[in-house]
Structure 1
Amino acid sequence: MNKSAYIKLVKGSAQTDVTLADVKELLVRYQHMTSLTGQQLDWDYQAAAFPYTIEEQEQDGVPYLVLKGTETHLYRGLVIGVSQEEDSGIPYVQLVLPEQATHGDLAKGNEFSKYIAKQLKGELHLFNGRIIYYNPRK
């Protein structure tokens, strides 16, 4: 697949900058929320809602998160990084579907990117090129 989704922190976003630690914290919070839902349902909802392990890696001095699928026949993985646009300096979070990604990874990537964008009140550029605005536009 090898596609990317972007969450840009434009004017009106909840934060003016984002770090990889911020993104990891949001993913851990997402896992916690789904585990609480699972307790209410008396079902291991977290395993279905977040079928990945989170690993921090670095390549050429650039840190990133790798979400590795726990059920490899359905979910293989996602890669998440943070950076800034060169021309405008706008910070963004990038979610990448690697070549071996499945349709399950695409669906989870959309789900996670929407959650992160909503929390950061950012501008979400989905894998298919469509844009969702989670910030108040003035």
Structure 2
Amino acid sequence: MANAYIKLVPGSTKQEITLDDVKELFYYYKEITSKTGQQVSWEYGDAAFPYDIKENNEEGTNWFYLKSTDSRYNLIVLGVGKEEIEDEENKTEQYYIQITLPQASTHGDKGKANEFCKFLGKKLQGELHLFNGRIMYYYPRK
């Protein structure tokens, strides 16, 4: 199992995020990729997002998953949470999106998950902690 995180830092466009916000961003992603496909006369939307968004039916959970019917892809799990960050003066809450690749995930899922992480990181101007441990900064830094 591998995890990546998009952390919402003080320079991000949002300071809090919900599962519905993340789903809306995926619906937006599907919309823009299908429009790209229309412009080039190719079904790019299906290739760019070969998943169905599946709800988690358990009460009080903060995750959903992307399930694919394509043989090259299988499963990506997404969740939201918050953690306490301490500095010298005070404690603050930091929200994050967690992207998990379970054991059943394929190499195709990892490629798509990296693509989705970068999209979400740019859109939210967050701090992206990739699966390989590297960090990408999408927010304005001083």
Q: Confirm or deny a common fold (TM above 0.5).
A: yes
TM-score where L is the length of structure 1: 0.94
Residue 48 of structure 1 is matched in structure 2 by 47
CA distance in 2, matches of 1:47, 1:60: 31
Residue 74 of structure 1 is matched in structure 2 by 72
The one-letter amino acid of 1:44's match is: E
Residue 83 of structure 2 is matched in structure 1 by 85
> CA contact under 8 A between 1:58 and 1:64: conserved in structure 2?
no
CA distance in 2, matches of 1:34, 1:78: 19
Q: Deviations over 1:13-67 (max 9, x none)?
A: 0001011111000000000001000101111101100000001214462131110
Max Rg structure: 2
Mark the runs of 5 or more structure 1 residues left unpaired by the alignment: none
- 3-state SS of the aligned residue for 1:78? strand
Mark the runs of 5 or more structure 2 residues left unpaired by the alignment: 86-91
- Are residue 16 (structure 1) and residue 15 (structure 2) matched? yes
| Structure 1 residue 86, shift from structure 2 partner | 3.9
Aligned-CA RMSD value: 1.2
- 3-state SS of the aligned residue for 2:55? strand
Percent of paired sites with the same residue: 52
TM-score where L is the length of structure 2: 0.91
- The size of the alignment, in residue pairs, is 136
CA distance in 1, matches of 2:59, 2:128: 27
**Within-5 A mapping of 1:96-115:** 96-115=100-119
Select the residue among 114, 120, 126 that pairs with 2:130.
126
